[in-house]
Amino acid sequence: MKQNLATIAFYNVENFYSKTSEESFLPSNLIKWKAGRYDEKLNKIAFCIAKIGKSETNQLPSVVGLAEIENEDVLQDLTDNSFLKEGKYKSLIYQSLDERKINVGFIYKEDDFIVEKSEPIRIVFKDQLGEKSYTRDILYVNGKLFGHKIHFFIVHLPSKIDKEINQVKRQYMMQTIRKRIDEILSENHSERIVLMGDFNDTPTNEDLRLELNTRANVNELKKFELYNPMVALQSYSRGSLMFKKQWMLFDQQLFSKGFFDHSSPLEMLKTDIFDASFLKNSSGKSISLPFRTFVGRKYFGGYSDHFPIFTILKW
């Protein structure tokens, strides 16, 4: 019997600003984006996406969550690119009030996935003086993947660098996501939910584990918990990015128990990091690290400082 296989992926594409953007990468206004560099990055990102899960499914990914996208122009150019055009992708993005003007986005093959609802979940923070601040929106999408109901949450949590400020933001965002997931599962605990994104933290971090109610062992999964397959992938020798000279797995995909019910028409086969050799530096001190677009002010012309992650589904 022939297996029907599909890929769902997530990729932080590192500061992917539009060709017409007049914004610089840094507040110091030292790094300017140029059309030629934009086109080069566009081709690289499209080429990479086209390869994710290809060896397993022989197809383009069905859906891809994205982080660090500026606007709809970038997604339109991406889906129109020759490497992805045959997939007939559609895109979703909402403009957040993020200070860096970057957002999360979503592209999907319209032959594979039908969108029934999408919305940004906007998070507004206030300090002690009542001053508002913002970060990236959470993107929520639900629809039918090959005719089967599924929910997606795409997230890019604040980093932990500015710990006092960002820790509050991180916790509030995770609590907001968890509340939305609980609302869905309260109506039907068999719903299939995928939470994916850049969490700016490791799969075993206690805050992430407790706030999102995750579990590393799928056989012990309870109905309101999320399975985190990234825990098994975490190691000293491999990750989705290099941070402070250590491999980290900040990019993660989490799954509700509905995927593991015996009656589920969508079955997880594998989750992995897509760290193909073409995404890595080929020489120098940074050999085998992600081939980045920029390192500081210096333009390297690579893909991203993150590797994509992906899951293969059978249906």
Kindly state the tokens that stand for 221.
Answer: 């999964």
pLDDT of residue 198: 98
Q: Smallest Cα–Cα separation from 8: which of 182, 123, 148? A: 148
What is the maximum alpha-carbon separation in the chain? 64
Chunked mean pLDDT (size 10), the chain, 315 residues = 86 92 50 83 98 98 98 97 98 93 97 98 83 92 98 95 78 96 97 98 95 97 97 95 93 98 91 98 83 88 97 96
pLDDT of residue 15: 92
pLDDT of residue 22: 55
CB-based contacts of 195: which residues, under 8 Å, 6+ apart? 152, 153, 155, 177, 181, 212, 226, 253, 254, 255
DSSP state of 184: H
d(CA 169, CA 153): 17
Q: For residue 55, how far is the Cα from the chain centroid?
A: 21
Kindly state the tokens that stand for 148.
Answer: 């089967």
How many domains is the chain partitioned into structurally? 1
pLDDT of residue 29: 46
d(CA 49, CA 38): 16
Find the CATH number of the domain harbouring 193.
3.60.10.10
pLDDT of residue 304: 98
Range of the domain at 132: 5-314
